[in-house]
Structure 1
């Protein structure tokens, strides 16, 4: 009896719905639209201090407190008095999601590039940039079973995806 139930359960699970086939004839549907940037929007730069919106990793180095702003860059604080850190400036590093510190050098991603930075209380120096080593790709949305607007190379570099209604979808990611 136990084996009969097991066999019956396996048959039921094996008889799932047919594979989904996307319908490219629909007028509009929920999907993803690429977010484009040109190379000038990918530059590293110093800006005045700003509030943290989406904090990532945090490092304490000497009298500095370094806080990653996910996807945007790095907040630099003077942490001489840990009870009252002073927000000094922001380092724009587009596509920055991760960072690590070793021997006084901060390593940070900048989309596909890896940056080696020297950070002080008043500036940041790019020591080295290794291009195309991380394997960042945004050629498709990260989600599966979704419609999306096909990437148009002439519009710039795809740096992310936004969910929205799209008209007459032509691309689908299973």
Structure 2
């Protein structure tokens, strides 16, 4: 008589111990409270400049997502840095009639620049802009950490190593 013994083996590794590790992107957030910061400070060095506007012999230059440089160009052979406006989330500016208009993440700031040594924040219009580009990174395909609108305003996407990402393009 043949006795057949059937053995079934079970793995010591549970399904939840397996993780998918991939290269991908994750959002960099700034809290909505931190976006409320506004301050005129001493001039800074340029590092990641963006849009520029010329107004009444002054150059206003965006430091991407950080603020706005104010530079006196009365003597173009000797530009003079006046100050730096700390404005988190700034990407764009426009000027008209002694007023600087700028984005501040989702907010619109209205700043009186009559006295460039003492600018005045006149108004902050809250949640004027929607973040249409925040739901996925600026790539055509790949894995990424899912966007969480409760985490804050997305400033940027950074390439990183992800574990068990839930979102992909």
- TM tier, smaller: 0.7 to 0.9
Q: TM-score, normalised by structure 2?
A: 0.76
Name the CA distance, whole Å, in 2 between partners of 1:126 and 1:94: 14
2:145 aligned residue: 149
1:158 aligned residue: 154
On the 8 A contact 2:40/2:84 being kept in 1, the answer is yes
1:80 aligned residue: 74
Name the CA distance, whole Å, in 2 between partners of 1:152 and 1:135: 14
Aligned residues: 149
CA shift digits 1:147-174 (9 cap, x unpaired): 11234566544332211111121222x3
In the alignment, structure 2 segments of 5+ residues that lack a partner are 1-17
Name the CA distance, whole Å, in 2 between partners of 1:167 and 1:118: 47
Matches within 5 A, 1:57-76: 57-76=51-70
Task: Give the structure with higher Rg (CA).
Answer: 2
Matches within 5 A, 1:85-164: 85-119=79-113, 120-137=115-132, 138-151=134-147, 155-164=151-160
Name the CA distance, whole Å, in 1 between partners of 2:165 and 2:73: 51
Name the CA distance, whole Å, in 1 between partners of 2:51 and 2:100: 12
Q: TM-score, normalised by structure 1?
A: 0.74
* Structure with the bigger percentage of helix: 1
Name the CA distance, whole Å, in 1 between partners of 2:44 and 2:91: 18
Structure 1 residues 60 and 156: CA distance shift in structure 2, 3 A: closer
1:33 is matched with which residue: 22, 26, 33?
Answer: 26
Matched, 1:46 2:40: yes
- Aligned CA RMSD, in angstroms, stands at 2.2
Name the CA distance, whole Å, in 2 between partners of 1:153 and 1:57: 27
